Amino acid sequence: MTPEELLSYDREHLWHPYSSITNPLPVYGVESAHGVRLRLSDGRELIDGMASWWSVIHGYNHPLLTKALQEQAGRLSHVMFGGLTHEPAVQLAKTLVDITPGDLDLVFFSDSGSVAVEVAMKMAIQYYYAAGKPQKQRFLTIRSGYHGDVFHCMSVCDPVNGMHQLYSGILPKYYFADKPECTFTEDWDPNDITSFQGLIEQHHKELSAVILEPIVQGAGGMRFYHPQYLLQVRKLCDQYDVLLIADEIATGFGRSGKLFACNHAEVVPDIMCLGKALTGGTMTLAATIARRKVGEGISATNPGVFMHGPTFMANPLACAVAGASLQLLLESDHEATIRNIEKQLQRGLSPCRELKTVADVRVLGAIGVVELTSPVDMARIQPAFVEKGVWVRPFGKLVYVMPPYCMNDADLQILTAAICSVLEEESVH
């Protein structure tokens, strides 16, 4: 097919995420990608400010990741994980156990971040069922959170400002504390934990777990909250015998400035969910990592096994490339790299504060956010970014970027200048 034929067939038959069939948003054909650039089928190149939804931390077509994938494909591309194992899975699990906080040392692989969260929630419920407390099967979370698009995950996403309101009548009903108001850089206000504390005190006998995104709330609002809030949550979970699930799908592997966002508060969750950047964006893979007490508790009582088993869990290709990606990350000075990206984003996005349509500009690690006073017009703003030579995918009132870690200062300046320019042009509409 010609590029035009490809796009035409796409419009007729492909359903893109969060899109309408009758009123579709613009779609651009990608011919290839290298480093931080996407090459479109019409020959234009775009600097990718999204790292393909947080995942491509080393840039596209990295030779070491490609080599790992090719070598593994020549040996073993897939095998069921029921009753069988293989070196890429074992080596990857060893790395994850070594680098994750504290005593997280049981690794359950799955296909995607949403499934990793689903697995974590099932673990929590089954843990208390095995402990003879079957009534502890509900969850507590905080508003402005996002944990994925499958059903149980949707039940702990923000029920008002999230993306799943139309399912509210059929989702399980759980508890939502007020969102944290103390930002990452503000002085801690002890009153910020009051709503959460009241709910866990009142409902702990029926709660299996608290689930939250540590420090950085992603698609629920791109908010950065105070580490002390997370520390207080950990203390309250311990006090009231409730597991803590840290959803680090978006924040894991350096994005917030620490290897894991939990490290900002030196907190060890009972269960951690990882995905997105795990393979450097090369393949889909996720992991749910639990403390041994969780696994031993589940295994001690009938049925004596954890009741979950994805067909493609621990896929050898994905595990091999994930191992190579983590080696690249860990052998680099990733914290210094992220600090530099943070500095460039702060400097480059600062002019947006002068625009009357901008409510806030905030940066943490390799995450830059411009919050507007009203939702963007995607049909207009997306082509405007493409015309400036950058790929930025806003949603709602948020124009945000999370660039690949390999993006140099010159490209970061182009990226942030394009955002400021487009938003200035939009402010006159």
Q: Which of 247, 270, 388, 397 is catalytic?
A: 247
Token readout for 12 is 């007729």
The answer to whether 60 is a known catalytic residue is no
The answer to whether 18 is a known catalytic residue is yes
The answer to whether 247 is a known catalytic residue is yes
d(CA 385, CA 421): 9
Give residue 386's identity as a one-letter amino acid code. V
Give residue 155's identity as a one-letter amino acid code. S
Contact criterion met (CB below 8 Å) for 392 and 419: yes
Q: Which of 122, 179, 258, 276 is catalytic?
A: 276
In DSSP terms, 291 is beta-bridged to 104
Q: Which of 18, 103, 235, 377 is catalytic?
A: 18
- CA 412 to the chain's CA centroid: 21
Token readout for 141 is 């979370």
Comparing CA positions, the residue from 390, 101, 394, 85 lying closest to residue 268 is 101
Comparing CA positions, the residue from 290, 204, 226, 215 lying closest to residue 256 is 215
Q: Which of 127, 128, 146, 400 is catalytic?
A: 146
With the CA atoms of 193, 196, 200 and 202 taken in that order, what torsion angle do they form, in degrees rounded to the nearest 10? Answer: 100
Return phi, psi of residue 422, to 5°.
-65, -45
- Within 135-222, strands assigned E span 138-142, 175-177, 207-212, 216-217
Find the helix or strand (DSSP H, E) in which 109 lies. strand 104-110
Contact criterion met (CB below 8 Å) for 29 and 36: no
d(CA 410, CA 412): 5
The answer to whether 146 is a known catalytic residue is yes
3-state secondary structure of 252: coil
Token readout for 335 is 């914290």
Indicate if the alpha-carbon torsion angle 14, 392, 280, 408 is positive or negative. positive
Token readout for 406 is 């390999």
Sort strands 367-372 and 398-401 into parallel, antiparallel or unpaired.
Answer: antiparallel
Indicate if the alpha-carbon torsion angle 309, 314, 317, 322 is positive or negative. positive
Show which residues are catalytic.
18, 146, 247, 276
